[in-house]
Amino acid sequence: MAVGRCEAIREASMFSRRLLAGSMAAGAAMLLGACGGGTGNTNTSPILVGITGPFTGAYADPGIAIRNAGELAISDINAAGGINGRKLQAVPEDDACDAQQGTQAAEKLLTEKIVAIVGGYCSGASIPESDILHRSGDLPFITAASSNPKFTEQGYDNVFRMVSRDDAEGPADVSFIKQFLKASRIAIMHDNTTYAKGLADSAKQAAQASGMTVTYFDAITPGQKDYTAALVKVGTGNPDALFYTGYYPEFGLLAKEYVSLSPSYKLDGDSADVDPSVIKVAGAALTNPGITITTLPTTEFIHNAKNDKFTSEYQSKYGGAPGDYSSYEYDGMMALAQALKNDGGKTDAKSLNAAIHAVKISDGITGSIAFDNKGDRPAPEFLAVHAVGNPPAFQPIAIRQNGTWVASS
């Protein structure tokens, strides 16, 4: 698209946002996407990268940790010379884990002349954000944490995922409950969000396929103060275990109420429940022997020199430990930087998407990084953890190796 026309579109976009903040802005933003970053991306100006996530609201802790990790990665990239001498610059935008706010965040980032987004926590926000980027010129979106399969099943060429998919985690979680917890009857509870419902559906399908009896399948409403009635209802089906799919604030409360009720069944959570903030919610209740969490290898359970260095840098800069998906965000930003370097610093969307698809990094914090034609990475070996000590801290109790769960040494 001609430079003069791109500049005119930018001016029209800013004018329309001031007057309407609605459909005119969205239309102008879509045209902006085709400009591939526009004249703002000269040989000396910074390359702008959006970071989305929940920076406010109930899930702000992991969202802020993703933002911090992205900014730390950019700092390290720039310290090493940037992209052919040009620096990267982060442009964070809060999506609050909300579909509408996510759409607005993506539209706003387009007017900021970003070349890509690296971030995203809740699938319910990341999926509509990916749709905006697709319809606005296919700007790349590398998500750090959004695991609902739909993110990479829309037929888009511009989406990439750093974590495993829910249809990989669901069967792994169920196999832990069956093999390691010796359960034949399973209850499944979710919070009806895009992420949780997708994982619950995957778990239900896997449980039935393995011959387990599903005694309960229902949702709770996030943000409530008491889920005792739901836990009691679960017990009426006489399950051996309850698998909860949802986020850590609700799991923390469920854990406390589970301990108070002392039911006969066990309680297992998912990857979104192992966030360090769950300890603030549940406290010592998490040390109950009936409570476990099955998860992909999140930051605190990755043991290699690169993660040690990253964690130390993160703690030094931000005064606290990184979040579950901080390492995945860091690696996602490194993958984008590698793609930009490999492609000679080109920032047009078509060229950049092809370069990301071609990325091969053998020594990322989270392992080797390469994407299939949909934008997914191979699923990792999942693990199960339990909290011990005072204050509580999570420790691995089992790891899944070649489809079989074995006790951690």
For 306-325, what is the mean pLDDT?
98
Residues 75 and 143 in one domain: yes
Domain stops at, among 229, 262, 295: 295
CA angle 285/291/295 to nearest 5° reads: 115
Give CA separation, 291 vs 208, 210, 231, 251, in Å.
23, 22, 14, 11
Residues 158 and 11 in one domain: yes
Residue type, 228: T
Quick one: pLDDT at residue 181?
A: 97
- Residue 380 falls within a domain, yes or no? no
Q: Are 35 and 9 in contact (CB under 8 A)?
A: yes
Residues 68 and 188 in one domain: no
Please indicate whether residue 2 or residue 338 has the higher confidence score (pLDDT): 338
Over residues 120-159, the pLDDT tens digits come to 999 999 999 999 999 999 999 999 999 999 999 999 999 9
Quick one: pLDDT at residue 63?
A: 98
- Residue 63 falls within a domain, yes or no? yes
Domain stops at, among 269, 295, 321: 295
Q: Count structural domains, the chain.
A: 2
For 200-220, what is the mean pLDDT?
99
- Residue 386 falls within a domain, yes or no? no
pLDDT > 80? residue 180? yes
Residue 258's Cβ-count burial label (10 Å; 0-12, 13-18, 19+) is buried
Residues 16 and 31 in one domain: yes
Quick one: pLDDT at residue 42?
A: 53
- Structural domain span for residue 201: 166-295
- Residue 384 falls within a domain, yes or no? no
Give CA separation, 88 vs 117, 135, 268, in Å.
12, 24, 41
Eight-class DSSP state of 249: H
- Residue 405 falls within a domain, yes or no? no
Over residues 360-374, the pLDDT tens digits come to 999 999 999 999 999
Residues 7 and 155 in one domain: yes
Domain stops at, among 239, 273, 295: 295
Taking each helix axis from N to C terminus, what angle separates 194-209 and 123-135, rounded to the nearest 10 degrees?
A: 110
CATH number of domain containing 37: 3.40.50.2300
- Residue 390 falls within a domain, yes or no? no
Residues 206 and 249 in one domain: yes
Residues 223 and 256 in one domain: yes
Question: Percent of the chain at pLDDT above 90?
Answer: 88
Residue 45 backbone zone (phi > 0: left; psi -120 to 50: alpha; other: beta):
beta
pLDDT > 60? residue 345? yes
Pick from 329, 320, 309, 323: nearest CA to 90: 329
> The whole model's pTM is what?
0.89
Residues 188 and 275 in one domain: yes
Confidence label for 44 from pLDDT (cuts 50, 70 and 90): confident
Confidence label for 297 from pLDDT (cuts 50, 70 and 90): very high
**Residue pointed to by tokens 């992420």:** 195
Write phi, then psi, for 125 (nearest 5 degrees): -100, -40
Q: Are 366 and 327 in contact (CB under 8 A)?
A: yes
pLDDT > 70? residue 3? no
Tokens encoding 403: 């489809």
Confidence label for 409 from pLDDT (cuts 50, 70 and 90): confident
- Residue 138 falls within a domain, yes or no? yes
Give Cα 401 to chain centroid, integer Å: 23
Through-space distance between the first and last CA atoms of the chain, rounded to whole angstroms:
59
Residues 239 and 93 in one domain: no
Q: What is the mean pLDDT of the chain?
A: 92
Residues 201 and 281 in one domain: yes
Quick one: pLDDT at residue 2?
A: 38
Residue 250's Cβ-count burial label (10 Å; 0-12, 13-18, 19+) is buried
**Residue pointed to by tokens 């992909």:** 296
Quick one: pLDDT at residue 295?
A: 97
Residues 177 and 233 in one domain: yes
Residues 213 and 67 in one domain: no
Quick one: pLDDT at residue 379?
A: 86
Quick one: pLDDT at residue 192?
A: 97
Quick one: pLDDT at residue 7?
A: 38
Write phi, then psi, for 298 (nearest 5 degrees): -80, 175
Over residues 231-271, the pLDDT tens digits come to 999 999 999 999 999 999 999 999 999 999 999 999 999 99
HSE, side-chain direction, 13 A CA sphere, residue 77 = 30
Over residues 64-118, the pLDDT tens digits come to 999 999 999 999 999 999 999 999 999 999 999 999 999 999 999 999 999 999 9
HSE, side-chain direction, 13 A CA sphere, residue 289 = 2
Q: What is the Cα–Cα distance from 86 to 222, expressed in whole angstroms? A: 44
- Residue 398 falls within a domain, yes or no? no
